[in-house]
Structure 1
């Protein structure tokens, strides 16, 4: 059977993040990709110029269309900017019995532009987090979900991961890309313990879409049958290669994208 992954997220007109990054990642990882578009953005490497939300009922219609026909092996969820859309997505997952869900709580773009409304944060926390197999916040997102200061070391990351785990997801991957030091350390926090995932920190401004790309790579590996720890480790290693190759692309004048096809082109 062909492995299939579904992304439910916002569209990035510049092609570096969101739905576009997810579909590129699925293809690069050898998985068929389907999509449900939850929002449209006017966006490029310099920032987000506008957001147009897709009506919640049409998000639900897209989910019903895909999930009633395709045998989806894993779902990645990204930018959901309004409470009604978050609720529609949660209801759709329940309606179709979807359990293998990677939730990337997208709140702010690499450019610093806000992507999630304040009233949507609580809905995300209470309605969607309990439905996730894996939650993948970066350091600022983890802090925002908890109403806490941004973690500054691994002990604080671990503590915040455990607090997020108590909100309902089966596992939490706290991403340390916003940290400092020669290594980028992510912590996979599960009820049975914590796994440390390490990659060299790469000096580049071209990091647009890294969070989207990592979460969709994990979903792709899960769709192919990998365990959660295996999927996270493989995705982390592959993303490090995509970041290392990012400067080989010449895309835009701001924060350029990672090189999703670094192993193919």
Structure 2
């Protein structure tokens, strides 16, 4: 049997920790064939982002055509889209997919949106125009949105506890506000809100480590992989969190890089 296909639409990370490097490694680890659309090339390491080169919109659209014309995509994960035009272009492509553009499959792909606005290092990866484009164009057509607490506050335009932010943002798509202090012990709590339903907590073990560069990318790509396999959203969210926990434990004692080290893309658990 063919494996399910998942597509990542994101930027590169020259340090190999986040972006398409993390997404494709996660897809492969979870039994999914990974395709990719590159939106930006970044000069990036564990200490920060030093340069960003956005890919021209026409080239992004050509990559999307190449993938969707040839492969039966079961799930799409977006990461760093970089520009408002890229956000809007992909949102329009989702609408097209749902109406007329599924030559290879009768099912609709799950759309997982990781609304990347600020890197772990603090580098701004999307300004106010990008935030607005997410709200106006992409979130209304997504299956699930996976902001961390800072991203949820940015999208909502106000502070608040994660469960309230998840509920406020879950007007069209489901929202999972991911949580967890890398220095914490005990448990972390993500909040899942689906439109018209109260938010529910999803708890998982916390892993005290500073090797967490790429955690958000891995979570959202793991979620997309499990949705591609046909798991329901609640189960896919639990499985994605368990995978991230396992990978954080693998890299917990690594000493790679001069900054916040990478979360593991390897499978050893020592």
TM-score between both structures, scaled by the size of structure 1: 0.92
How many residue pairs get aligned? The number is 258
In the other structure, the counterpart of 2:192 is 188
Shift of 1:177: 2.0
How big is the alpha-carbon RMSD for the aligned residues of Structure 1 and Structure 2? 1.7
Per-residue deviation, residues 155-214 of structure 1 (Å, max 9, x unmatched):
x22211111012x21x11011125966321101111334332112222111110100100
* Matched ranges for 1:1-265 at <5 A: 1-97=2-98, 98-149=108-159, 151=160, 156-166=161-171, 168-169=172-173, 171-178=174-181, 182-190=186-194, 191-263=196-268
SS of match in other structure, 2:207: coil
In 2, the alpha carbon distance for the partners of 1:125 and 1:46 equals 30
The runs of at least 4 consecutive aligned structure 1 residues that moved more than 4 Å come to 178-181
Contact 1:26 1:220 in 2 (8 A): yes
SS of match in other structure, 2:241: helix
Q: Please say which of residues 209-218 and 113-122 is displaced more in the overlay.
A: 113-122
Structure 1 residue runs without a partner (length 5+): none
SS of match in other structure, 1:130: helix
Per-residue deviation, residues 32-60 of structure 1 (Å, max 9, x unmatched):
10000111110011100011101111111
Contact 2:162 2:191 in 1 (8 A): yes
Shift of 1:221: 0.4
Shift of 1:109: 1.1
SS of match in other structure, 1:119: helix
In 2, the alpha carbon distance for the partners of 1:197 and 1:257 equals 24
In 2, the alpha carbon distance for the partners of 1:45 and 1:17 equals 10
Assess, with a 3 A threshold, how the Cα gap between structure 1 residues 241 and 189 changes in structure 2: closer, same or farther: same
Contact 1:99 1:132 in 2 (8 A): no
TM-score between both structures, scaled by the size of structure 2: 0.91
